Amino acid sequence: VKVTVLGDGAWGRALAHVARAGEHDVEIWSRRAPFDLTAQTLIVAVPAQSVRDVLKMVPTTNKHIIIAAKGIERGTHMLMADVVRDVAPSAIPLVLSGPSFADDVVKGLPTAVTLAADDLDTAKIFAQHFSLPHFRLYASDDVRGVELGGALKNVLAIACGISDGLGLGESARAALTTRGFAELSRLAEAMGAQPRTLMGLSGIGDLLLTASSTKSRNYAFGFRLGQGLPVAEALAQSSGIVEGAFTALVARALAAQHNIDMPIINAVHAIVEDGAKVVDQVTALMQRPAAIE
Amino acid sequence: VKVTVLGDGAWGRALAHVARAGEHDVEIWSRRAPFDLTAQTLIVAVPAQSVRDVLKMVPTTNKHIIIAAKGIERGTHMLMADVVRDVAPSAIPLVLSGPSFADDVVKGLPTAVTLAADDLDTAKIFAQHFSLPHFRLYASDDVRGVELGGALKNVLAIACGISDGLGLGESARAALTTRGFAELSRLAEAMGAQPRTLMGLSGIGDLLLTASSTKSRNYAFGFRLGQGLPVAEALAQSSGIVEGAFTALVARALAAQHNIDMPIINAVHAIVEDGAKVVDQVTALMQRPAAIE
């Protein structure tokens, strides 16, 4: 397969690396080094907020567009496949998402992620094209479920970072991850995600990786908040866009719209957007009445 | 409430600690220091394989018995609530299970676990009795689901330990945890567990803690295997019973009985019981055909 990867960041380069290892013909396109595309398959590995702009810069007619960006577009509140459908109505969007650090992939360490398309056969064909023994793709036809897991987990990664920054321990982080996952699932299911997807690689799998590793930008941002840094300073120290800080805002709006209780995501929002004190939010969470699981 | 904790190990002492903090009247009973019980509520915090013997040594008629031991009884393949029902037919079994390290609980760090009883009202009442701001109990009526999560996760903790011992990275461990959770869920659901329970604290919550921490005995055992130690030596270096090594055997038998595919659990079984090479098992797992999620 002839493939163009849009984006020359760590993730774009990692995906180009595995595609080349699979003996595909791969080029990396970036805004800094653009060229005329010929490839019928595009892999989009730019930050979520740049996907729309980048897709406008390249030909997209009838192409398969594999989205490897996680997040919700500001302003429109669109998921990335919807951005593709909006900008490139004749293209077929696929979504690649799951627990994967670029450096693990480049090192050839085993990684498994989900590849979703509206049509399961399309997902299966592309999963077969790009699977390697150390880079396994699981096919899914739940595009929306895969996208919601990948976007919402960033908010919970901030919460888990805060917990670890405060030194609350591994048991607390596991509880926060699990109860946060219950919130994420409630919202995602209300928005059409399949429960099976949320229990998979792009859901709980990606969450548990992102919510426990300093390699995750969102977790690292939360960790600094837990250590007592003000929001502005913690953001300034981040190495790139902290997608979850914005997603908290959108998630709160979506939760209100679907009438869903999301205490952990609300707490992150209160801290990041309203300047609430970290300790007050943690105390409030712990004093909620015990519930039924 | 007047409570006797059976077992003076770290977990028994931690549970006695929180019960006292909740202003209950608490005594710790052990085989080394037995006495005549008067309490109507027992908390059983001995290793799974000792639960039957210990329950035979104390009066159990009409008592509430909260089981804080995780595992499947050798020989009978019974879960712990079934052992209680067998030994003490007039008693009411409850199961306490979830992501919780004894030292986190004793330090007063936030912890949340599930408390299950066949009757949801019973679970709710006891959850209220024993909940503290930093020790939250979520009520459930899925005794079997809670027990299966707590028992089966030990096998997956060995698998994740092996992966880390081999240095396969965080992405690999996240994939293994997630795909292992899919196996656990398939078997547990076939045996009557509710999916909701598996997605909760006693399911994925406990799994993600146990499968990522050197404080977990099963993970630590797996880690030594991954580093190349033979099974006998890795077992000898363990600080107590490695429950998951035995559970792998039972899980394989149960999976065969319910006609369920469990490649990760089978790989752990092959390594622990049949002396298969760790690297061969990992390679075989990675070369399975890509699947649908």
C-alpha dihedral over A193, A198, A203, A205, to 10 degrees?
A: -160
Which of B11, B162, B171 has the highest number of chain A CBs within 10 A, making it the mutation to test binding with A? Answer: B171
Indicate the pLDDT class of residue B293, thresholds 50, 70 and 90.
confident
Residues of A in contact with B124 (CB under 8 A): 292
Q: Is the pLDDT of residue A126 over 90?
A: yes
DSSP state, residue A169: -
Contact A107 B175 (CB under 8 A): no
Indicate the pLDDT class of residue A241, thresholds 50, 70 and 90.
confident
Is B277 one of the catalytic residues? no
Residues of A in contact with B279 (CB under 8 A): none
Measured in whole angstroms, how far is the alpha carbon of residue A228 from the centre of its chain? Answer: 26
Residues of A in contact with B112 (CB under 8 A): 175, 178-179
Helix B263-274 to helix B143-165 angle (10° resolution) is: 70
Indicate the pLDDT class of residue A128, thresholds 50, 70 and 90.
very high
C-alpha dihedral over A73, A205, B216, A282, to 10 degrees?
A: 30
Neighbours of A270 (CB within 10 A): 18
Distance CA B235, CA A72 (A): 48
- B186 interface with A at CB cutoff 8 Å: no
Tens of pLDDT, residues B258-276: 999 999 999 999 999 999 9
- B21 interface with A at CB cutoff 8 Å: no
Token pair of B243 as six digits: 């429950």
Taking each continuous run of H as one helix and of E as one strand, the counts in chain B are 14, 7
- A179 interface with B at CB cutoff 8 Å: yes
Nearest residue to A110 (alpha-carbon basis) of B215, B75, B167, B88: B167
**Helix, coil or strand: residue A141:** coil
Residues of A in contact with B214 (CB under 8 A): none
- pTM for the complete prediction? 0.95
What is the average pLDDT across A202-222? 95
CA-based nearest distance A202→chain B, Å: 9
Neighbours of A291 (CB within 10 A): 15
Q: What is the ipTM of this complex?
A: 0.95
- A213 interface with B at CB cutoff 8 Å: yes
Among the partner residues A134, A212, A293, nearest to B212 by beta-carbon distance: A212
Distance CA B70, CA A170 (A): 19
Neighbours of B240 (CB within 10 A): 9
- A129 interface with B at CB cutoff 8 Å: no
Residues of A in contact with B177 (CB under 8 A): 205, 208
Catalytic residue among B70, B107, B124, B153: B153
Among A11-15, A24-28, B241-245, the range scoring the smallest mean pLDDT is B241-245
